Amino acid sequence: EGIALELAAELLRSARRIVVFSGAGLSKASGIPTYRDADGLWMNKDALRFSHAEDLDRDPAGFSRFWAERLRVVEAARPNPGHLALAQLQRLRPATRLVTQNVDGLLSRAGAADVLELHGSLRRWRCDHCGNRRGPWLFQRCLRCGRRARPDVVMFGEMLNKGVLLDAQSAAQESDLFLLVGSTAVVYPAADLPQQALANGGQLVTLNAEPLALDHSATAVLHGKAEELLPRLVESLGRQVSGS
Ligand code: NAD
Ligand code: APR
């Protein structure tokens, strides 16, 4: 474990364009469930009933109840040491791009900048009728046109925001170090990003609680918890900077 950590720290030190790609594992320590773990969201049949685009119209009341509860969990959550370490990494290496599949907004709340939220954010709502997009989704109604408002989150069967996806793809393609944190990387198009980094000569480091198929393509593989390993990774970078 220590060797892989030292190798990952070395790669981080010498990297010039870092991309950190995160999934639900990064927010687990903040009390937000992952999707595919034993206690993941997809084990709860309700979650699957209200995570498809058509569920909005099928059962608006049930949809609003489910997503209001998810928003409550997210609002009650606090950034954990993993989020804080990534915000610190960005301060030490300003070119670092943070790309996340998470919809909890915790990286921004930890002080990170320009986070690319591939699957949107529960902390924003939008109106599918007039496109209005505002702060925390507390309203059932759009403040501009009065039609129903919904979380600004990508549901099953919906397309991702094209601009965000394009930015994430170019960041991955230009990266020399791609750090995957806490994701099974099985959902497309997000799961394509590590491959795009590798295809363009970038090095991959995986940090995940369980083994991933992608581990075979990684230069360093860290099996463990993001909230424990990320602070140690970034700390070593900070030491090097202060020591140099
Ligand atoms: P999936 O295979 O259905 O995901 C593919 C989805 O991504 C499809 O909905 C498709 O429209 C979209 N997609 C595929 N290629 C794309 C491209 N090139 N550009 C833009 N969009 C593209 O797998 P899934 O697990 O069903 O996930 C579906 C989507 O819904 C994913 O983005 C997933 O993250 C999102 N989702 C989010 C939540 C949440 O709580 N945040 C819940 C369920 C699903
Ligand atoms: N530290 C590191 N990794 C962890 C931790 C932790 N503390 N806890 C769990 N993990 C790992 C799990 O082992 C798992 O491999 O994080 C991964 C979480 O994977 P998923 O539950 O599949 O979450 P994610 O990869 O973000 O899902 C992608 O699927 O349905 C969509 O929109 C949804 O954005 C989500 C997408």
Q: What is the pTM of this model?
A: 0.89
Q: Which of 52, 119, 129, 223 is an active site residue?
A: 119
CA torsion sign, 161 to 141 to 32 to 81? positive
41 secondary structure, DSSP code: G
- Percent of the chain topping pLDDT 90: 69
Put the strands of the sheet holding 220-223 in their side by side order.
Answer: 116-117, 97-100, 18-22, 177-181, 203-208, 220-223
How far, in Å, from the CA of 229 to the mean position of ligand 1? 29
Q: Is 131 in the pocket of ligand 1 (CB under 6 A)?
A: no
Query: Lowest-confidence range among 63-72, 185-194, 215-224?
Result: 63-72
What is the rounded distance in angstroms from the CA atom of residue 226 to the CA atom of residue 79?
Answer: 12
Element (H, E) at 88: helix 81-92
- So what's the pLDDT on residue 53? 85
Q: Closest Cα to residue 67, out of 138, 143, 146, 7?
A: 138
Atom of ligand 2 nearest to the CA of 103: 34
Complex ipTM over 0.95: no
Tokens 């930015």: give the residue: 167
- Respond yes or no: is residue 223 known to be catalytic: no
Q: Is 119 in the pocket of ligand 2 (CB under 6 A)?
A: yes
- Percent of the chain topping pLDDT 70: 95
pLDDT at 214 over 90: yes
Q: Closest Cα to residue 9, out of 240, 188, 243, 197?
A: 240
How far, in Å, from the CA of 67 to the mean position of ligand 1? 17
Least distant ligand from the CA of 183 = 2
- So what's the pLDDT on residue 244? 41
